Every structure is written in structure tokens, then in C-alpha cells.
Amino acid sequence: METKLQSAYQEELQRLEETSRQIDAQLKRLQAIPPYRGDDLTEQSLEAVRESGRRNMARAIEEPYFGRLDFQENGQSAPATLYIGKVGVDDPDTSKLLVIDWRAPVASLFYSFTGGLEQAEYESPEGLVAGLVYLKRNIVIRKQILQRVVDTYDRSAGDPAVTDEFLLYRLGENKDNKLRDIVSTIQAEQDRIIRAAKNTALIIQGVAGSGKTTVALHRLAFLLYQYRDQVHAEKMMIFAPSRMFLDYISGVLPELGVGSIQQSTFADWALDLLDHEVKLADPAERLAAWFAVGPERPPIDDTAPGRWKGSVRFVQLLEDCLRKYEAGALPDTDFEPWERKKLPADTIRGWWDVENKHYPLMKRRERVIARMKRWLEMELDKVWEASRRKELKKSAAQKLRAYEKAWTALTPFGFYKALFDVKQPPFYATKELCAALPESLASASAAQFKKKLVQPEDLAPLVYIRDTFWGISGEHMFDHTVIDEAQDFSPFQVELLRRHTKNDSFSILGDLSQGIHGYQGIHAWDEFSSLFETERTGYFELERSYRSTMEIIHFANHVLQAGVPNAKLAVPVFRSGEPIRILRAASPKQAAAAAVAAVERIRGGSAQAIAVITRTEKASAPVYKALQQAGIEAHLIGAAQQHYGGGVSVVPAYLAKGLEFDAVILFGVDADAYEATPQDAKLLYVGCTRALHELVLIHGADPSPLLAQIPSELIQIQEAGA
């Protein structure tokens, strides 16, 4: 066995030297050609190809490939040895592929092959290709140095299974402050999602740590490769919950060689489209209200403003109002620029209803008014006497101004705001809207709108109105849209984005068990799938969790079940770690000291990213202070945080969502903070599943009831300070 490993290592060492030499020669050849800066278009495009070659070779030289697959296609006499890397490299003299791009059809075998002695197959542009896999090998190369060779499948060894050894080695590594690519260990169920056809609205329900975010980013890289003539990076969009989260995931796409994909929060994108006509009310206040503990907890049901304004029903109500506006906005009067001269109302209506019907509302208004002006000029041209003409022109200008005033050009906010004025609703507010609008919601909205402030749930309706008024120009259309943490989106938001996305090309990913923003997000995936045609929708579930140890996942599952009895549970990969430590503190002071001691202990090991996760933003402050007093440098993360810096963080659970840390200390897991409700169970579940390797919980005299049913073999209970 030892000698076999050694010979494999020697074999790969030799191969690496050869490949590196070839890549180096190609890179030098390209670098020797001076970059073209002239105006000749043909030369420019040749230079673009060379520049992309230089970039690719520079990337490939460091780590040319990460995998090898020996595959014998049916009809061939011997297996071909395929090396798979992040960048495809061919030998320009022989056109032979030295390295195959991981996104190429044949490379899919490297991921989809899950062992066995039977035939394996992959979809090529020419059809299905079948054959036998002989060897699947993982190869770790760092800065041109061969570090590791692991065979995960070897037909000659007689064992038909693909082992998880290499995956486990990867998962056991500590994390720094950024999410990483997973090209060398993409799993078969993830690969299916990554390679799914472009024109589908993919909905991906995945348990915590199942790789949803990572998979979505790899999918973008795949789409750019596979459909290079149809999709463009700058026309793809990733929506993520916060700027800090975007910062956290910002490393993956460059690692995959993909740049310039648009990334935004929904709010930033919407506010830009609205030309910042409105401002968002302070998000910290809203979060503090929805995540309050004790008697201040608001009820979370369909009457919550986010649920109501985010519903499909509200899309319909709003659309009806816009239709009513369209039918009734045009003044129903003739236009009389001067005495005995009349442009009949019917003619104007014809220009509005028929001639310009295909234009969006406000553009249409502009065109009708321009048409009226042209009519006026023609009529004035018929008047020969100059002084009379001047007089009539003046009168006409006045009349036209009055006409325009009667037909007010509304802004999206002006239109929307008026709908909530229940005492004096505008003519376009339908009876149905007035009947459906809850009074408290109308008055709370109206009070905010007076200050030009809006809540996140107002943004989708506002952009919807804007689109109806002005249309959606090409620059605001996406070739593909990713919605991460989609369980927190509303159907209204997705419906709006559907209008901004070509061919329903979506990756919508989330986890209902982490739906902690239930006051605005969905409660079941069909709230989204019903927005798309069935044949254009794809639904995938990811059950395996790659982030955390088995102990952490089993523990988190128990917590979740205590509040959400029929929740989907995560299945861990077989990676064992420490039991979960539960520390009971006699006083708040002792609890803070226990948190400090835990951070100090964990920092003494190999962990790089540690989080103390609290129930509320308010609860973060004392722990942060205690850490500071102990001389521990930490980041206090609040709602406005833009960057994630790694190290030690103190963060409320709802802001930690999507992130991960080597170790997590859940602070204040008390009965009043985490009740046995679905909302609190999900929140605590989110907190637990942020941890990769170690999880510690601290509570006072009265622990959360969500901890009541945890099997004793998973936990280690201690008195804090003992």
C-alpha cells in the first residue's frame, strides 16, 4: 500500500513538472508579445484573446489541476488520463488537452461518479458518452508544489466505493474570513444543481451548511462557461442579505476566475432604481422590534406588514390600481387652446389608448403631450398673421400647462403613498384595495411616508410601480439572478425580479428551517414556485451538511425539532468532533466571564474565526465589553456592518446567518430569550449551525426549553467557572 502511494506520488510529481513546464512556456510566449494598444478592431480582439490567455496561464501555473480521472470510453482500447483544473489548458502545438476545465462536460464525471463497477456516463454536446472509470484521484498542489495525492476510487483495488477521505480532510480545515471555492470536492448532488439548464427557475432547499451559497456561485461560473454566447458576467446578479455577507462571499468568484458579476442587497438595488426618492427607515430599529424578547415580542403572522405587502395578493391589488390609473388618468375633456379651436377628447384618447398603448405609462403620457404639441404647431402654422399667431401661441401654452396639471405626472412614491391615505384615497385606489388594507397598516405606513421613509417591504411595490411607469430598460435586465437566503424574500420581490430576469433564469436558494424573518419571508416554497410556469421550475433539496461536525449537526437538529416538530433535518457527513459544552452561569457577570474564558481557550488552539453569538444586538454589548476588558480584540457586529474581518466577532444570531466560524459560543441561551416557539428554535438553530468544529452554550439559572430533550451523549454540562 505504502509503495503504491509512493509510486502514485512520484507519477504525479513527474506529470506536474511536465505540465508546469508547458504552462510556463505558454505564459512566457504570451508575455513576450507586447500588448496592442492601437485602434485596429481585429488586432484588439486578438489582444483580448491573448490577455485572457495570460490571465489564465498565470492562474494555472500556481495550481494547474486538482483532480485526475482515468476514464475509458466505450470503444476505446485504453483509459484516457484526464486532469481537471480550474482553467483548461491545451498544448498549442498538438491541440491536446493538458488540463480540462472543471466545467467541461467530461469533467462532470469527476463529480457525478459515486463509485461502483458499472458503467458511468456523462452528457456531451454529441450525446450521452458511456464508459468505465478506473481511477478518481484528488491532487493538492499549492504554489506549484505537490502536497497531497489521495485516491478516492481505484477500480484495481476492488473496492467499488468512492471514499470521503479527501472531503473530510478539506472540511476539517480551519476557515479564515472568506468563503472558498469547492471545485475539488463538489458532491454529486451539488453538481446536478451547478450544471442545471440555464432557463430554469431553480429553487434549492438546503439544510444549514449544505453548500447553497457556494453551489450558487459555482453555478454562475458554469453558466458563463457553458452559455458564453448567451450570458454575460456583468448581466448576472447576486442578491444577498447584507453588504457584510457580500463581502464574506466576495472571494469565491475571483477564485473561479469569474469577475464583474453584479452583487447587491435587494434594498440597495431597489433604492438605486428609485433614484433614492425615498429612504429606508433605520434597519436596526426594525430588527430590534422583530427580535425583541419578553412581552414586547410582536406576533408573526400574515398580518405582519412584510407578509401583507409582500404577498401575491398585494401584487394583484396594486396592478388593478395601476390599471385604474391607466384608464382614468387622462382628462376626459377636449383640449381648447384658444376659442373655437378644439382637439377632441376622443382624439387624445386614441393617441393614449391605441397609438401609444405599448409604451409604459409615464412615457406614454410624455408622448401624448408631445403629440398634442405637434398638433398645436400645425394649427398655429395655419395662422398667417404673425401678431395673432403670437397671441394664440401664448394662450395655447397656458392651456396646455393647465391640461398637463390636470393630468399630473406622478412619481412612483407619489402614486404609492396616496394609496395609504384612507381618508382621501386617490381615484385609482380600487374598492378591493380599500377594503383589504388593514387600518393599522395604512396609518403606520402613512405616518412613515410623510417623512419619506419606507420599510423594506415597500421597495418591491415601489419598483413595480416605477417599472410600470417607465418600463425596464436593457441595462436593468439580468441574464441570470441568484437570490441567496431566499426564504427571507417575499413573493412580491421574486415576482418583481422575474420581470427583470430573462427566460426565468434563476437560482433561488434558502432554508425554511432558517426562516427567522418569517414576518416578511415565505413559509413554504410553493409561494415562489407558483410564480413560474411549472415546466420552467426546478426544485432540489440538499440534505447533507458539510460545515459542521456530526455532534453539532445532531445537537442543532434536536434544538430545531423542539420548536418545529416536522422540520427537515440535516444529515452530517461523517466528521466527528468535540461534544457540545453547555455552561451554567450563576450570574450575568459569571456568564460574561465564562464567554471570555471560552474565547481564550479556543484561541489557544488552531481556530481562526470565533463568534460569540447573542440573542439580540443589545445583548452583544456586555460580552463585547468583557472581551475588551480582558484584552481580546473583537469585532462588534451590528446591522450596519459592511465588512467581515474574521478573528473574534460578537454578533446577534440574526446577523450571523449565512456566515460560519471555526468555533461558536452561544451566549444567553436562557428560557426567556429562546422560548419553545418555531421562531426561537430557528434562531437558535441558525446560531448552532454557524460552527464548524466547536460549539459552546452559556445560560443562566433557567436554560431555554429548547435544550430540554438533547441526548446526554451529545453534550457536556458544566458549571461556569468550575
Ligand X SMILES: Nc1ncnc2c1ncn2[C@@H]1O[C@H](COP(=O)(O)OP(=O)(O)OP(=O)(O)O)[C@@H](O)[C@H]1O
Residues comprising the binding site for ATP? Answer: 206-213
Q: Smallest distance, Å, CB 316 to ligand X? A: 32
3-class SS shares of the chain: helix, strand, coil, % to 5: 45, 20, 35
Strand partners, 648: 610, 634
Indicate the residue among 99 and 252 with the shorter CB distance to ligand X: 252
The secondary element (H helix, E strand) that includes residue 81 is: strand 80-85
Euclidean distance between CA atoms 267 and 259, whole angstroms = 23
Q: Of the listed pieces 16-24, 185-193, 300-308, 332-340, which binds ligand X according to CB under 6 A?
A: 185-193
Residue 76: burial class (beta carbons within 10 Å; 0-12, 13-18, 19+): exposed
Q: With contacts defined by CB under 6 A, how many residues of the chain interact with ligand X?
A: 24
Amino acid found at 53 = G
Identify the CA nearest to 85 among candidates 98, 71, 72, 70.
98
- Residue 211 touching ligand X (CB under 6 A): yes
Answer for which of 99, 171, 419, 516 binds ligand X (CB under 6 A) is: 171
Indicate the residue among 410 and 573 with the shorter CB distance to ligand X: 573
Euclidean distance between CA atoms 354 and 317, whole angstroms = 25
Answer for which of 53, 67, 209, 456 binds ligand X (CB under 6 A) is: 209
- Residue 108 touching ligand X (CB under 6 A): no
Q: Smallest distance, Å, CB 269 to ligand X? A: 21
Q: Of the listed pieces 38-46, 144-152, 203-211, 375-383, which binds ligand X according to CB under 6 A?
A: 203-211
615 and 291 Cβ atoms separated by less than 8 Å: yes
Euclidean distance between CA atoms 202 and 221, whole angstroms = 16
- Residue 152 touching ligand X (CB under 6 A): no
- Residue 572 touching ligand X (CB under 6 A): no
List residues forming the annotated binding site: 206-213
Q: Smallest distance, Å, CB 642 to ligand X? A: 19
- Residue 212 touching ligand X (CB under 6 A): yes
Indicate the residue among 211 and 461 with the shorter CB distance to ligand X: 211
Indicate the residue among 30 and 194 with the shorter CB distance to ligand X: 194
Q: Smallest distance, Å, CB 240 to ligand X? A: 10
Euclidean distance between CA atoms 267 and 520, whole angstroms = 14
DSSP string, 121-143: EEEETTEEEEEEEEEEEEEEEET
Q: Count other C-beta atoms under 10 Å from residue 350's C-beta.
A: 13
Answer for which of 214, 505, 513, 679 binds ligand X (CB under 6 A) is: 214
Indicate the residue among 212 and 584 with the shorter CB distance to ligand X: 212
Euclidean distance between CA atoms 551 and 545, whole angstroms = 12
Find the Cα–Cα–Cα–Cα dihedral 604, 610, 616, 621, rounded to 10°: 50
- Residue 69 touching ligand X (CB under 6 A): no
21: its cell numbers: 513546464
489 and 521 Cβ atoms separated by less than 8 Å: yes
Euclidean distance between CA atoms 676 and 689, whole angstroms = 18
- Residue 568 touching ligand X (CB under 6 A): no
The residues, ordered by sequence, that sit 6+ positions from 213 with a Cβ below 8 Å of its Cβ are 179, 249, 484, 509, 658
Euclidean distance between CA atoms 367 and 43, whole angstroms = 44
- Residue 201 touching ligand X (CB under 6 A): no
Q: Of the listed pieces 167-175, 454-462, 662-670, 707-715, which binds ligand X according to CB under 6 A?
A: 167-175
Q: Smallest distance, Å, CB 693 to ligand X? A: 11
Euclidean distance between CA atoms 369 and 662, whole angstroms = 64
Euclidean distance between CA atoms 397 and 406, whole angstroms = 14
- Residue 456 touching ligand X (CB under 6 A): no
The residues, ordered by sequence, that sit 6+ positions from 514 with a Cβ below 8 Å of its Cβ are 208, 485, 487, 657, 682, 685, 686, 689
Answer for which of 186, 237, 362, 582 binds ligand X (CB under 6 A) is: 186
Instruction: Annotate each residue in 494-523 with x if it binds ligand X (CB under 6 A) or - if it does not, as one string.
Output: -----------------x--x---------
Answer for which of 290, 546, 654, 661 binds ligand X (CB under 6 A) is: 546
Q: Of the listed pieces 28-36, 163-171, 325-333, 515-523, which binds ligand X according to CB under 6 A?
A: 163-171
Indicate the residue among 208 and 494 with the shorter CB distance to ligand X: 208
- Residue 674 touching ligand X (CB under 6 A): no
Euclidean distance between CA atoms 567 and 168, whole angstroms = 27
Q: Of the listed pieces 68-76, 210-218, 411-419, 526-534, which binds ligand X according to CB under 6 A?
A: 210-218
Q: Of the listed pieces 182-190, 193-201, 290-298, 499-507, which binds ligand X according to CB under 6 A?
A: 182-190
CA 42 vs CA 66, 229, 230, 469, 596: distances in Å: 36, 19, 22, 42, 64
Indicate the residue among 212 and 635 with the shorter CB distance to ligand X: 212
- Residue 658 touching ligand X (CB under 6 A): yes
Q: Smallest distance, Å, CB 562 to ligand X? A: 19
Residue nearest to ligand X (CB): 211
Q: Smallest distance, Å, CB 235 to ligand X? A: 23
Q: Smallest distance, Å, CB 175 to ligand X? A: 6
Q: Count other C-beta atoms under 10 Å from residue 404's C-beta.
A: 14
Strand, helix or coil at 39? Answer: coil
Q: Smallest distance, Å, CB 185 to ligand X? A: 4
* Grid-cell match 433604492, residue found: 271
Indicate the residue among 170 and 297 with the shorter CB distance to ligand X: 170
710: its cell numbers: 438533547
Answer for which of 180, 393, 399, 536 binds ligand X (CB under 6 A) is: 180
- Residue 238 touching ligand X (CB under 6 A): no
Classify residue 701 by its DSSP letter. S
Q: Smallest distance, Å, CB 109 to ligand X? A: 16
Indicate the residue among 77 and 576 with the shorter CB distance to ligand X: 576
Euclidean distance between CA atoms 313 and 321, whole angstroms = 13
Q: Of the listed pieces 72-80, 165-173, 321-329, 704-712, which binds ligand X according to CB under 6 A?
A: 165-173
Q: Of the listed pieces 211-219, 292-300, 497-505, 693-701, which binds ligand X according to CB under 6 A?
A: 211-219
Instruction: Annotate each residue in 683-712 with x if it binds ligand X (CB under 6 A) or - if it does not, as one string.
Output: ------x-----------------------
Identify the CA nearest to 420 among candidates 395, 441, 393, 394.
441
- Residue 548 touching ligand X (CB under 6 A): no
Q: Of the listed pieces 125-133, 204-212, 497-505, 709-717, which binds ligand X according to CB under 6 A?
A: 204-212
Euclidean distance between CA atoms 37 and 17, whole angstroms = 35
Strand partners, 663: 610, 694
Identify the CA nearest to 439 among candidates 316, 314, 305, 317.
305
16 and 10 Cβ atoms separated by less than 8 Å: no
Indicate the residue among 85 and 461 with the shorter CB distance to ligand X: 85
The secondary element (H helix, E strand) that includes residue 510 is: strand 506-510
Answer for which of 170, 363, 523, 643 binds ligand X (CB under 6 A) is: 170
* The Cα angle at residue 539 between residues 549 and 464, in degrees rounded to 5: 110
- Residue 213 touching ligand X (CB under 6 A): yes
Q: Smallest distance, Å, CB 232 to ligand X? A: 24
Site of interaction with ligand X (CB under 6 A): 167, 170-171, 180, 182, 185-187, 190, 206, 208-214, 511, 514, 546-547, 658, 660, 689
